[in-house]
Structure 1
Amino acid sequence: MVSQAHAEAVAEFRRRKDEHFAAGRGPIGAAALADFRGLSYYAPDPAWVFTMPVQPGDLAEMTLGTNTGETRTMARFGVATVELPSGPHTLSLFAPLGEEKPVRVFVPFRDATSRTGETYGAGRYLDAPLAQAPDSDETLVHLDFNMAYHPYCAYGDGWTCPLPPAENMLPDAVQVGEKLPSGVAN
């Protein structure tokens, strides 16, 4: 059961993104904006919300490929292991270069919905907040896959979007967050 507070937070995130796109500040072209009625989303599911410890990384530079063939360099902040329906899976967490104490990390991922066309084939993103564990020096990451979103390159040309590294390829279908509208090929 989705709590009222969580459902409201997810709805607000989606409302703000839809308003941003509708105002012409997103990747949707002017011709398509006249018919734009909002993005497509799965229903929220609390089973896809995780808070877990971060195993710190060395902030080493890691080069991610992009949809355009360019590269994007980020710092590997650490890893976190999430308990998926198919079993535990360790995800890499990224921060901008030079940010030793970010407030959130970038988590690009692909899952089974990327392969079936339900979501963008190149994957989706999470911006995951970090927090200090109570009574310890341990850093926690909050992964709420209900907030998963498509990169701009899913909606239009001319955008350069980082691709998930191999370790962020999830075997499960993550049927929460943003999805492609019915009938859209990716």
Structure 2
Amino acid sequence: MTTTDAPDGWEAAVEREREKKARFFRDGPQSPLPPDRRGEAFPGLDYYDPDPAYRYELELHAYDDPEEVTVGTTAEGEQRYRRYGEFHLTVGGESVTLHAYRPADGSDRLWVPFRDETSGEETYGAGRYLDLEPDHHRTAEDTWVVDFNRAYNPTCAYNPAYECPLVPTENWLDVRIEAGERAFPAPHGVEDA
């Protein structure tokens, strides 16, 4: 496990990404929000303050023979992934194993979904995601930047019309990840999912 000092400009880059996402959600024609929650009705997105303690550079322990797994979805469907490897880290003094998946279509992107002790309270109940791209998240030392400050909600957190893969139970963490995106406010009179 390695928590690294954030590079210069890291916090500003996180904030810029958040602002860009908010603009897209509020005004973008492809926004996942229902039309009645866009524009002036957009309630904004909520995040934990950026915290470099939740930014790690980690070795990916890749499996010799990645197993294909079926992941359920919010619409009772299924999606196929390959369980590609795992990261080992320490959060709040607790050792954690976090599994990384690759889409079964052969993409080299890593999908790292997780639920934690904030899920359903401060963050979206079904969990959050990290996407790791080799060109952007792999270091010269062949480690991966796993930055929970960039954890985001799946599209179904904003609109039940979307179908999202559920977090496999092996990535249900018994720690609090107080970083990244918080729960999106439910419309008035509607309970959070």
TM range (shorter): 0.7 to 0.9
Structure with bigger strand share is 1
Length-normalised TM-score, structure 1 = 0.87
Over residues 83-114 of structure 1, what are the superposed CA-to-partner deviations in whole Å (9 max), with x where a residue is unaligned?
111421111101122437x2x31101001110
Please name the residue that 2:110 is paired with: 105
Displacement, 1:118? 0.9
Please name the residue that 1:32 is paired with: 37
Please name the residue that 1:146 is paired with: 149
Report 1:51-130 matches (<5 A): 51-57=57-63, 58-99=65-106, 102=108, 104-115=109-120, 117-130=121-134
Q: Is 1:2–1:44's contact at 8 Å kept on the other side of the alignment? A: no
Displacement, 1:163? 1.0
Structure 2: 5+ residue stretches without partners: none
Please name the residue that 2:14 is paired with: 10
Q: Distance in 2 between matches of 1:180 and 1:36?
A: 14
Q: Is 2:129–2:151's contact at 8 Å kept on the other side of the alignment? A: yes
Q: Distance in 2 between matches of 1:30 and 1:24?
A: 9
Q: Is 2:73–2:163's contact at 8 Å kept on the other side of the alignment? A: yes
Percent identity, please.
Answer: 35
SS at match of 2:143: strand
**After TM superposition, what 4+ stretches of structure 1 lie above 3 angstroms from structure 2?**
1-4, 181-184
Structure 1: 5+ residue stretches without partners: none
Displacement, 1:168? 0.8
Q: Distance in 2 between matches of 1:132 and 1:144?
A: 13
Q: Distance in 2 between matches of 1:59 and 1:122?
A: 25
Q: CA-atom RMSD, angstroms?
A: 2.1
Length-normalised TM-score, structure 2 = 0.84
C-alpha distance 113-11 of structure 1, shift in aligned 2 (>3 A): same
Displacement, 1:167? 1.6
Which amino acid letter does the alignment assign opposite residue 82 of structure 1? L
Q: Is 2:124–2:184's contact at 8 Å kept on the other side of the alignment? A: no
**How many residue pairs align between the two structures?**
179
